[in-house]
Amino acid sequence: MEPIKTELVVVGAGPGGYTAAFYAADLGRQVLLVEQEPRLGGVCLNRGCIPSKALLHVAKLIEEARDSAERGVIFDPPRLGLAKLRAWKDSILQKLGAGLAFLAQKRGVRVLTGRGYFEDSQTLRVETPQGQQLVHYDKAIIAVGSKAAMPKAFDLGNPRIMTATEALEVEEVPADLLIVGGGYIGMELGTVYSTLGSRVVVVEALDRLLSGADPDLLRPIEQYARKHFKDVRTRTTVAQMATAGRQIKVTLDQDGRTVEELYDRVLVAVGRVPNDEDLGLENTRVERDERGFIVVNDRQQTADPHIYAIGDIVGGALLAHKAAREARVAVEVIHGEESAFRGITIPAVVFTSPELAWAGLTETEARAKGIPVEVARFPWTASGRAMTFDHTEGLTKLIIEPDSERILGVGIVGHGAAELISEGVLAVEMGATARDLAESIHPHPTLSETLMEAAEAFYGYATHTFARRKKD
Amino acid sequence: MSLSEHMALRGKRQAVMEIKLPKLGEGADSGVVVSLLVKEGDRVEKGQPVMELENEKAVASIPSPASGTVERVWVRVGDKVSVGQTLFTLADAQAAGSAAPTPRAAAAAPAPTPSASVPEPHAAAETYVVEAIAEQEAAEIEATVKPGLTPAASPSIRKIARELGIDLTKVRGSERGGRIVMADLRAYIQRLQRIAFAPKPEARAGLAPAAPVEPIDFAKWGPISRQPMSPLRQTISRRMWENWTAIPHVTQFDEADITGLNELRKRYAPEYEARGARLTLTVFVVRVVADLLKQHPVFASSLDETTQEIVLKHYYHIGLAVDTEHGLIVPVIRDADKKSLLELARDIVELAEKARTRKVTLEELRGGTFTVSNQGGIGGAHFTPIINRPEVAILGLGRGALKPVVRDGQIQPRLMLPLALSYDHRVIDGGAAARFIVDLVQALQNFDEQQVKL
């Protein structure tokens, strides 16, 4: 095959890669997008954000139907059609993938299916189904992402020991499911499986679930987990796993005690590792850290002047929206603009029940860094809208710089927190003050009012709560 | 940030309060304590001046932000203090009201102190402008970016700043919470530009005649003593050097026959005296110059070096160099062209007195069109005055003296006034200067008595 010459090649078509490719094309660049899988969208679309949210929607539906008895609406217990569920979920992925392919085509972004391998700083070899294709480029953006970590000790070749990828396929609903790792993946899939009918046990090595979240925001999630999961065990690690017939025998180290238990399936959700291997990076000047993440500066430049990197492969928050923003920065820098990923708020969202989201500074972080802050809270028990949803287990809080009254961070736990957090992101990014938030009318009755009322609470006059006046 | 916000404790009633040096104005973040107006144990009222601070621009009195008893004075006369430094501790402090008083420039009681009354050499030949402390900035929103935090600015502003290479931590935000908006960025850029076009401080320090490169051991040749240069003296030194090096000076000499003018002056002086005014030669000269500037507009101009334009001023504010014990001060007489001789005479007496007692206000030192420096009271004849930038010309007057002058073929004794007109040759040509001085001589020799009559 004739070598392809292109201005820009983007390796990996996840949310980072396709955003970069599309944006570069929109700026008039000649772009080649290389993706090893037939469907664009990367982990997010195929094995992450999107399928998990489809399943969480179903879980929510089941939960709401179950809880409706108390509201005077009684449903029969749900009957699961897993094949139908999978098909529905897959149809979403299919539609989104096709949409991306269409958008690429419309922009004149050439898509090459195959695995990319760097021959040198300006040459990429792509193993396509049709054979080897050499690509000569001026600039490359690496956006090859990450994958679920599977520690060697757990990798028995037993399909009952799953990562998120397999768990999202929902081959069956195991009676007893062990989830190793109380991070956001473990907690979201725990919610899905427990609602579908599994007895879920979550084990977490640290002393808290969802590390990084403020303890007060975590409380409703812990309460949910304690009620609906069989067990949640912190400071617990898996010492060993072994196949035991159709089950997995798991040896747990629980605060120094050794416990042996049998599970039908195990979900390993202990983190993610970069896809940095077998990429030919050693043929370039690209540098990696000790964990394998590519080292970049805040302009997304690697140590190789021809190569940029974005998304999970550069580490930090492994989130699609972070990758997409980094894509913009990389493309703008390549395009000769002054751009940098600096001081940008990356919201964190966990789609548990209830949802948890935060943006900017957390209270925990402020304390750790010694930044003086005041915290204004508005509990959802005081929200009329939360009552009508029958979900008053929520809290909205603002992290405020006391002198300027600037909003440094926003944290929300509760129904729809993932949607609500964007206003917090805007407030933090714009350098808004509590006064700005308090004086912007929020429609009634909505959950978004809790942001306004939290700001009002800072000044001591939130209508729907009574708190001692803090500020003169 | 207001003084009251510097209180050690928050709240309305305070047991003990630390009074810190507030921000004095742009570029003025330190100064030397020239006098302490209170001592430990004194009772002070809110707003009462507690000390005087001299910086390179002026003397400012620092008022107390609260009432109370001075428990401790942390500074001594002669100390250099910076913004934020603790000056006093007040016991039983009560800061009624929230509005903090702002320090008033050069408006304190005249309290010369031992350290400040080092005799200054008389320097009537040079002129400089005391720029009093710039207007108090709207100081309530001092946007201080705390460690660990980024400046408050929207993503679009941050993008523009990045493109322009501006560090937002240096930009002062005017919006609520110190948020930086486009207007703040614009103001910051303009400030940078002004600084960029100003003479380089290194050049000043390196080349100023006051700072010889190699230290000389003068004591080798005999006994010496040293005196510190007051901030005012340092400003004079710097400004003189700047003006002298920045402007190609030419000084035009002439003499005016003021025999007639002097008779007029003597004749009307008692009447003026009776009305509380001193009819001096300076009064006449100011009158004549103000009128003459209208006929010679380029002498009432300034050079805008950034736009390469000549700024013609249609106002005639005449600066008057006043010799004081601290150094030269140049108060400005507003609209000299519109004032009667009596009004001018009164203004001059009043301003000169204010200058000597350091009571002259910021406004009274600014916006001159042209300067007159009269050494006649001391003596001497011609000299070469240094132009008071951004003005473009200055008139120096020597002492009038009786000289043998040929009039109508005969030698007569006439009272001759030495005139020295320094002008900026970038803006003013020699011909224009000669015409100006000829007209000036004519105007002084033919002063209309009607103007003197009350």
- Which residues of A fall within a CB distance of 8 Å from B177? 401, 404-406, 431-433, 435-436
Mutant choice from B7, B9, B14, B158 vs A, greatest count of A C-beta within 10 A: B158
**What parts of chain A have a pLDDT lower than 50?**
471-472
Q: Which residues lie below 8 Å from residue B273, measured CB to CB, with a gap of 6+? A: B279
pLDDT the model gives residue B138: 29
Residue B374 CA: distances (Å) to CA of A36, A115, B317: 90, 89, 16
Chain B nearest C-alpha distance from A430 (Å): 4
Chain A nearest C-alpha distance from B163 (Å): 5
Instruction: In whole angstroms, give the CA distance from residue B451 to residue B341.
Output: 7
- Which residues of B fall within a CB distance of 8 Å from A404? 143, 152, 177-178
Mark yes or no for CB contact B143/A404 under 8 Å.
yes
Of the three residues B80, B105, B130, the one that is the final residue of a domain is B105
- In DSSP terms, A350 is beta-bridged to A356
Name residue, tokens 């449903």. Answer: A75
Looking at chain A, which residue has its C-alpha nearest residue B12? A472
Active-site residue flag, A442? no
Any idea where the domains of chain A sit in the sequence?
Answer: 4-147+273-334, 152-270, 354-459
**H/E run at residue B414:** strand B410-424
b/e map B330-341, b = 16+ CB within 10 Å? bbbbeebbebeb
Mutant choice from B149, B167, B180 vs A, greatest count of A C-beta within 10 A: B149
Q: Which residues lie below 8 Å from residue A348, measured CB to CB, with a gap of 6+? A: A212, A213, A317, A319, A357, A358, A359
- Which residues of A fall within a CB distance of 8 Å from B148? 369-371
- Which residues of B fall within a CB distance of 8 Å from A343? 150, 158
- Which residues of A fall within a CB distance of 8 Å from B175? 431
Q: Which one of A401, A405, A432 has the shortest CB-CB distance to B149?
A: A401
- Which residues of A fall within a CB distance of 8 Å from B173? 431
Backbone angles phi, psi at A310, to 5 degrees: -145, 160
- Which residues of B fall within a CB distance of 8 Å from A406? 152, 177-179
The 10 Å Cβ neighbour count of residue A224 is 20
Q: In what order do the strands lie in the sheet with B67-73?
A: B16-20, B86-94, B67-73, B43-44
Mark yes or no for CB contact A406/B150 under 8 Å.
no
Looking at chain A, which residue has its C-alpha nearest residue B151? A431
pLDDT the model gives residue A195: 96
Mark yes or no for CB contact A401/B179 under 8 Å.
no
For A4-147+273-334, CATH number? 3.50.50.60
Does residue B326 lie in a domain region?
A: yes
Residue A370 CA: distances (Å) to CA of A213, A409, A431, A433, B419: 17, 15, 20, 20, 69
pLDDT the model gives residue B172: 86
User: Which among B359, B370, B239 has a CA at the least distance from the CA of B297?
Assistant: B370
Q: Which one of B153, B154, B177 has the shortest CB-CB distance to A405?
A: B177
Here the ipTM equals 0.78
Mark yes or no for CB contact A404/B155 under 8 Å.
no
Looking at chain A, which residue has its C-alpha nearest residue B140? A404
The DSSP letter of residue B365 is G
- Which residues of B fall within a CB distance of 8 Å from A299? none
Q: Which one of B147, B151, B162 has the shortest CB-CB distance to A340?
A: B162
Mark yes or no for CB contact A340/B152 under 8 Å.
no
Chain A nearest C-alpha distance from B153 (Å): 5
Chain A nearest C-alpha distance from B17 (Å): 19
B119-133 tens-digit pLDDT: 333 333 222 222 322
Token code pair at residue B383: 């000299």
Share of chain A above pLDDT 90, in %: 94
Strands B332-333 and B318-320, sheet pairing:
antiparallel
Looking at chain B, which residue has its C-alpha nearest residue A361? B149
Q: Work out the angle at residue B11's Cα, subtended by the Cα atoms of residues B9 and B16, and round it to the nearest 5 degrees.
A: 40
Does residue B131 lie in a domain region?
A: no
pLDDT the model gives residue A468: 61
Mark yes or no for CB contact B152/A343 under 8 Å.
no
CATH class for domain A152-270? alpha beta
Looking at chain A, which residue has its C-alpha nearest residue B143? A404
Chain A nearest C-alpha distance from B55 (Å): 30
CATH number of the domain at B414, please.
3.30.559.10
Mark yes or no for CB contact A429/B154 under 8 Å.
yes
Of the three residues B105, B136, B159, the one that is the final residue of a domain is B105
Token code pair at residue A305: 């002047």
Indicate the Cα dihedral angle A9, A14, A20, A23, nearest 10°: 120
Instruction: In whole angstroms, give the CA distance from residue A129 to residue A215.
Output: 50
Q: Are B319 and B129 spatial neighbours (Cβ–Cβ below 8 Å)? A: yes
**What parts of chain B have a pLDDT lower than 50?**
1-14, 26-27, 96-143, 201-210, 212
For chain A, list residues whose CB is within 8 angstroms of any CB belonging to chain B: 337-340, 342-344, 369-372, 401, 403-406, 408, 429-433, 435-436
- Which residues of A fall within a CB distance of 8 Å from B153? 431
SS3 per-residue string spanning chain A: CCCEEEEEEEECCCHHHHHHHHHHHHCCCCEEEEECCCCCCHHHHHHCHHHHHHHHHHHHHHHHHHHHHHHCCCCCCCCCCHHHHHHHHHHHHHHHHHHHHHHHHHHCCEEEECEEEEEECCEEEEEECCEEEEEEEEEEEECCCEEECCCHHHCCCCCCEECHHHHCCCCCCCCEEEEECCCHHHHHHHHHHHHHCCEEEEECCCCCCCCCCCHHHHHHHHHHHHHHCCEEECCEEEEEEEEECCEEEEEEEECCEEEEEEECEEEECCCEEECCCCCCHHHCCCCECCCCCECCCCCCECCCCCEEECHHHHCCCCCHHHHHHHHHHHHHHHCCCCCCCCCCCCCEEECCCCCEEEEECCHHHHHHHCCCCEEEEEEHHHCHHHHHCCCCCCEEEEEECCCCCEEEEEEEECCCHHHHHHHHHHHHHHCCEHHHHHCCCCCCCCCCHHHHHHHHHHHCCCCCCCCCCCCC
Q: Which one of B149, B163, B180 has the shortest CB-CB distance to A371?
A: B149
Mark yes or no for CB contact A432/B179 under 8 Å.
yes
Number of domains in chain B: 2
Q: Which residues lie below 8 Å from residue A144, measured CB to CB, with a gap of 6+? A: A11, A12, A116, A274, A275, A276, A279, A313
Q: Which residues of B are catalytic?
A: 425
Chain A to chain B Cβ contacts (< 8 Å): 58
Token code pair at residue B354: 């204010």
Looking at chain B, which residue has its C-alpha nearest residue A345? B155
Does residue B413 lie in a domain region?
A: yes
Mark yes or no for CB contact B155/A338 under 8 Å.
no
Mark yes or no for CB contact A430/B178 under 8 Å.
no
Q: Among the options A136, A442, A444, A464, which is catalytic? A: A444
Chain A nearest C-alpha distance from B60 (Å): 28
Number of H helices, E strands in chain B: 9, 20
Q: Which residues lie below 8 Å from residue A441, measured CB to CB, with a gap of 6+? A: A452
Token code pair at residue A318: 């492994």
Mutant choice from A361, A406, A425, A469 vs B, greatest count of B C-beta within 10 A: A406
For chain B, list residues whose CB is within 8 angstroms of any CB belonging to chain A: 143-144, 146-155, 158-159, 162-163, 165, 173, 175-180
Instruction: In whole angstroms, give the CA distance from residue B437 to residue B434.
Output: 5
Q: Which CATH architecture has domain A354-459?
A: 2-Layer Sandwich (3.30)
The 10 Å Cβ neighbour count of residue A134 is 14
Token code pair at residue A255: 């605060």
| pTM of this structure | 0.61
Name residue, tokens 């204004």. Answer: A376
Going A209 to A212 to A218 to A224, the CA torsion angle's sign is negative
Q: Which one of A339, A369, A406 has the shortest CB-CB distance to B148?
A: A369
Task: Tell how far CA B452 is from the center of its chain.
Answer: 31
Looking at chain B, which residue has its C-alpha nearest residue A405? B177
Structural domain of B275: 247-452
Q: Which residues lie below 8 Å from residue B199, measured CB to CB, with a gap of 6+? A: B242, B246
Q: Which one of B153, B163, B177 has the shortest CB-CB distance to A338?
A: B163
Chain A nearest C-alpha distance from B178 (Å): 7
Instruction: In whole angstroms, give the CA distance from residue B402 to residue B266.
Output: 16
**H/E run at residue B241:** helix B231-246
Mark yes or no for CB contact B153/A371 under 8 Å.
no
Topology alike, domains A4-147+273-334 and A354-459: no
